[in-house]
Structure formats: C-alpha cells, structure tokens
Amino acid sequence: MKKVSGFSLVELMVTLSVMAILLGYGLPNFSGFMLNNYLDTERSRLSTSMTFARSYAINSQKYTVVCPSISGESCDADSNWHNGWIVFIDENRNRELDATDEILRFENPMKTQISATSSVYRSKIRYDGTGFSPGTNVTITFCDDRGIDYAKNLIINNSGRVRQSDANSGNVCTR
C-alpha cells in the first residue's frame, strides 16, 4: 500500500493562525515603513533637483532657479513644493520664467500622502554662477498624516549647500 503524505486539518489551522498573528503585528509596522520611504524618496527627489540646478549654474555660469510649479510653465505664488516644481535658466535674473528662459527640468507632483512646504518668503531658490544661493536659509518641511514627529527637512543655505535633517519643534506641518 502506498503511503499518502500531506497536512491534516489541525496542522493547517495552526499554520494559518500563526500566519494571521504575525501579519497582525507586521502590517502596522509595514505601513509606517512605507510612509517613511515615501518621505525619504520625495525629499531625495527635490534634493537632486536642487543639486542639479546648482551644478548647472556653476558649469554654465548662468543663474538657475528652482520654484514650485503645478503647470510646469510658470512659478506658483505659494510655497507648496508637493505640487511639482521646475528648474530653469534665468537669463534676465528676475526670478521669473520668461519667454527667453529655458526650462531644464519639470518634476511631477509628489505622492498624495506627502506635503512639502517652505517659508512663503523664500519659495524660489536661485543659484548664481558660483553655486551660491543668496538670501536667507530656507527649510522645506516634508510631512505626512502622522504629523511633525515624523517630518523631515531639506535645508538650503546661502552657499547653496543642500542638506537633509529630521524636523525639529520649530517646523510646521501643513497637513
């Protein structure tokens, strides 16, 4: 007689119960992991555009501007970077996208879970031929529904250097 091997109903139920318990503990952590990943990815994407604009300004000896833009055809009047942004050559140095200016890069909006805002006083980042970004330091705060405790920053100083940091109590999440 041939021996048949397989699982009994009891073994199958125990295995499914253990898997359900492990998933119950793992899914909430996975959600937080995904949100952290979204924040890091979007912050890195904007940081890459800032670094690109700075490098282009240095190499071409032309002023470049990075600004929030929903349409990709002009700078927005607000400081909401999560709606998308553009990088352009500012030929006449007026910090506005004119007909003579060339768009170097247009970035699509960030994931809907993420908001990224800077001060309303510095919504446009301009780089000169030396790579400097004259004006005040600017902090762009990246948030999600979890609030300021999980927020992250992108900081651009006057010398044009871009750095990333965790948010502090002085930052505000607009979500």
In tens, the pLDDT along 130-160 reads: 999 998 899 999 999 888 888 999 999 999 9
In a domain, 36, yes or no: yes
Q: How many domains does the chain have?
A: 1
CATH number of the domain at 83, please: 3.55.40.10
Which helix (DSSP H) or strand (DSSP E) does residue 166 occupy? strand 162-166
pTM equals 0.82
Structural contact between residues 84 and 109, judged by C-beta atoms closer than 8 angstroms:
yes
Q: How far is CA 43 from CA 3, 46, 79, 138, in A?
A: 60, 5, 15, 14
In a domain, 22, yes or no: yes
Residue 174's pLDDT is: 65
In tens, the pLDDT along 89-118 reads: 999 999 899 999 999 999 999 999 899 999
CA dihedral angle for residue 166, residue 167, residue 169, residue 173, rounded to 10 degrees: -150
Structural contact between residues 35 and 149, judged by C-beta atoms closer than 8 angstroms:
no
Q: Which domain holds residue 22?
A: 11-166
Cα four-point dihedral sign 99, 89, 158, 170: positive
